[in-house]
């Protein structure tokens, strides 16, 4: 087991040194001495503490969880083969075929990272948030304050835990009921395609037991339109109501959804979004 931890630490350091900060969405400044990511940048991308990343790289942190390894693999923009190697070096089985995938291809991360002005979140087929940029945090709040299991849109909508408490008030142009129905439709589709996924089954059973609305939508037999494009008003604590176009883009071959928020150039909502991007979502007073 000690050799395995040593291999894991070696891979972690090597792949951190390999990844270009520009490809990860960080500015490259003149004072940067190393070509790869800094340890604090990797920690930020993976939603981990810098101290924990340090202990992993030194081989002092034992038995990282599958969620931690998955987050590191996404942050390091590993290929599927490299991701599986990282899992094995941690003494874990790689994600199996037939389960909801959380791997975000490097090309998608590079594309999203270079669109820093646009809030972007990447979701798995079960609506678990697996990747986001800084502007997403400024608009919706920092997902790292939540446990990984709570970074789920369906859980935020229908449960009453940390995810629900952290979700800002959002008004859908299509109506709240239609929005909820579309998310349930997506989960139904995921269940039909991943019948052996234990985590997905657990999520659905939990939501059916804690939410009458979810249970009702789940039992409805009529066809529902899956969640794609919408216009949403988000009530932000710093800038007030902000009306944005929300588009859901499907990532071919990866079964992921890239959610983006934009506003018309020159509009008051665009000005609010720009302010959030510049301040990181922390302003002194809302715009008029």
pLDDT for position 285: 39
**110 and 53 inside one domain:** no
**pLDDT tens digits for 65-92?**
998 999 999 999 999 899 999 999 999 9
Q: What total number of domains does the chain contain?
A: 2
**29 and 115 inside one domain:** no
Average pLDDT of every residue of the chain:
89
**85 and 189 inside one domain:** no
**154 and 242 inside one domain:** yes
CA distance 134 to 115: 10
Q: How confident is the model at residue 222 (pLDDT cuts 50, 70, 90)?
A: low
Domain annotation covers residue 57: yes
Sign of CA dihedral 47, 50, 54, 55: negative
**pLDDT tens digits for 86-141?**
999 999 988 887 889 888 988 888 888 888 899 999 999 999 999 999 899 999 99
C-alpha distances in Å from residue 250, one per residue of 52, 139, 247: 33, 21, 10
Domain of residue 224: give its range.
106-279
CATH number at residue 172: 3.30.450.180
**46 and 157 inside one domain:** no
**132 and 274 inside one domain:** yes
Where do we find the tokens 């034992």?
A: 62
Domain annotation covers residue 137: yes
Domain annotation covers residue 100: no
What is the H or E stretch that residue 154 is in?
Answer: helix 153-158
**19 and 162 inside one domain:** no
Domain annotation covers residue 27: yes
Whether 121 and 246 have beta carbons less than 8 Å apart is answered as: no
CA atoms within 13 A on the CB side of 84: 8
pTM: 0.81
Sign of CA dihedral 254, 149, 81, 114: positive
C-alpha distances in Å from residue 53, one per residue of 24, 57, 102, 212: 17, 6, 20, 41
pLDDT for position 228: 72
CATH number at residue 76: 1.10.260.40
């Amino acid at each position: 087991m000690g050799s395995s931890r040593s291999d894991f630490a070696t891979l972690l350091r090597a792949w951190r040194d390999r990844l270009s900060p520009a490809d990860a969405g960080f500015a490259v400044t003149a004072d940067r001495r190393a070509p790869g990511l800094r340890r604090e940048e990797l920690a930020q991308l993976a939603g981990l503490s810098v101290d924990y990343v340090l202990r992993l790289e030194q081989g002092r942190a034992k038995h990282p969880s599958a969620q931690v390894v998955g987050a590191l693999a996404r942050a390091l923009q590993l290929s599927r083969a490299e991701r599986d190697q990282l899992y094995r070096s941690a003494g874990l089985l790689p994600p199996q075929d037939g389960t909801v995938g959380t791997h975000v291809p490097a090309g998608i991360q590079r594309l999203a990272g270079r669109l820093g002005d646009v809030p972007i979140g990447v979701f798995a087929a079960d609506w678990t948030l697996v990747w986001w940029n800084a502007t997403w945090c400024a608009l919706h709040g920092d997902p790292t304050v939540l446990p990984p299991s709570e970074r789920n849109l369906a859980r935020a909508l229908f449960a009453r835990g940390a995810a629900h408490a952290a979700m800002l008030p959002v008004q859908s142009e299509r109506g709240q009921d239609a929005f909820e129905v579309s998310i349930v439709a997506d989960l139904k589709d995921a269940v039909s395609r991943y019948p052996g996924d234990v985590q997905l089954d657990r999520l659905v059973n939990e939501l059916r037991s804690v939410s009458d609305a979810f249970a009702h939508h789940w039992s409805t037999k009529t066809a529902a339109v899956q969640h794609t494009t919408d216009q949403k008003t988000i009530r932000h604590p710093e800038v007030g109501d902000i009306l944005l176009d929300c588009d859901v883009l499907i990532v071919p071959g990866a079964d992921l959804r890239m959610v983006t928020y934009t506003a018309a150039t020159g509009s008051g909502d665009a000005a609010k979004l720009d302010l959030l991007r510049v301040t990181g979502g922390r302003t002194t007073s809302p715009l008029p």
